[in-house]
Amino acid sequence: MKIILDAMGGDNAPLEIVKGGLAGGRRWGADIVFTGDESAIREALCACGHGEVPAGVEIAATSQTVDMCDDPATVFRRKKDTSMGVGLTMLREGGGDAFVSAGSTGALLTGATLITKRIHGIRRAAMAPVIPTTTGQAVLIDCGANAECTPEYLVQFAYLGDFYARQVLGLKSPRVGLLNIGAEDSKGTDLQKQTLARLREAAAAGHMNFIGNIEAKEAIKGGCDVIVTDGFSGNILLKSMEGVGSFAGTALKKMFKKNLLTKLAALAVMPGLNEFKGRLDPNKVGGTAFIGISKPVIKAHGASNAEAIENAVGQAAAFARSGLIEKIEENIDLMKIEQ
C-alpha cells in the first residue's frame, strides 16, 4: 500500500504533514510519498529525527504549491508543477493507491475531477464526511454548497453514500435518510418531494434500504447511517454541529470550574468527557473522502495537525482496500444521469 501525501497543503505544512505521514505509514503499514518542495520536506524529516529519507518514504519534488487564493478552475493550467497536481497525476498513473491533501478543497475537487478523473458514468463527485451521532456515526453526502442540485443528483449521491457505508464502514444494510424539515411525505420543497419519490422507487426495487425523510435532530440521534441532502442544508447541519460541540465544551468547562465541589465532580466524569470530546474532534477522523473519483482521494481539513494526517492516511488506506470504486463501477447503471 502506497499513500501519496501533499506535503505543502494546509495551514501546518510541511512539518505536521510530514510528522503525521511518518506516523501514519508506521501505524497503517503503508509506504508514503511526499510531494512538494524537497528542501522543505527534508527539513521537516530532520525535525522528526531523520537525517536521511527513511525506508518506505519517497519524495516527489515539485516547484509550486496551490495557494488558498488560487482560482480552482484555472490553477492547474497556470501552475503545472504543484504538489497537489503532481500528486493527483501520480495517483492517476498508478504511482500510489490513494492521495491525501489538506490544501484548498475547491482546488482538490477540481484537480481530482480534471486530472484523476471521475468514474465513467458519474456526473459529479461527492464529498462524504463521516459525522458523529448518538449511537455511532453517519455519512453525510450532498451536492456541494454552491453546486446545482437536482433530484437526479441526490439519488446518485444516495447510492454513492450507500456504497461507501457498505464498503468502507462495513455496514451490511445502511439506513439511508433524506434530510428534511419533517418526516411526512408532504414536507420540503419540490427538490425534496421529487427526490423522496425516486428514492422510494429505488427502495421498492431492492437497491437500497431507504427509510424516508429524516429530521436533523433524529439524524444526529443515530436515526440513519447515510444522510442525503442538498449542499446548502448539509453545510448548515455541519456548521451547526461544530458550533453546538464548541458551545457544549465551553459551557461544561465553565460549570465544572465554579467551585471545589464541581472540580471534584469533574474528576469523576473526566473519562466520559474526554471520550465525548474525542468523538467531536475532527483530528480523530482525519478527512473527508471524495466519492465518484476513479481513485481514492481524501481531503484533510486545512488546520490538520500530525494526528489528523496520521488518521487521514489510515482512512485513505481503508478506502483503497475497500473495493468501493469497483462496487460503484459494477452498479453504475443504477446511477446514470442522462445528459
- Give the per-residue pLDDT at 195: 95
* Of the candidates 83, 85, 86, 24, the residue with the CA atom closest to the CA atom of residue 56: 24
Per-residue pLDDT of the chain (339 residues; tens, 9 = 90+): 999 999 999 999 999 999 999 999 999 999 999 999 999 999 999 999 999 999 999 999 999 999 888 898 899 999 999 999 999 999 999 999 999 999 999 999 999 999 999 999 998 899 889 988 888 899 999 876 666 788 999 999 999 999 999 999 999 999 999 999 999 999 999 999 999 999 999 999 999 999 999 999 999 999 999 999 988 888 888 888 878 777 777 887 888 888 888 878 778 877 877 777 677 677 777 889 999 999 999 999 999 999 999 999 999 999 999 999 999 999 999 887 764
Q: Round to whole Å and give the CA distance between 84 and 4.
A: 10
- Phi, psi angle pair for 239, to nearest 5°: -65, -35
- Give the per-residue pLDDT at 107: 94
- Phi, psi angle pair for 59, to nearest 5°: -120, 125
- 209, 201 Cβ separation under 8 angstroms: no
With residues binned 3-state (H G I as helix, E B as strand, rest as coil), the percentages for the chain, rounded to 5, are: 50, 20, 35
pTM comes to: 0.90
Q: Round to whole Å and give the CA distance between 10 and 231.
A: 23
User: Reduced to 3 states, what is the DSSP secondary structure of residue 7?
Assistant: coil
Q: Round to whole Å and give the CA distance between 112 and 125.
A: 9
* Of the candidates 35, 48, 45, the residue with the CA atom closest to the CA atom of residue 87: 35
Q: Round to whole Å and give the CA distance between 12 and 44.
A: 11
264: Cα separation from own chain's centroid: 39
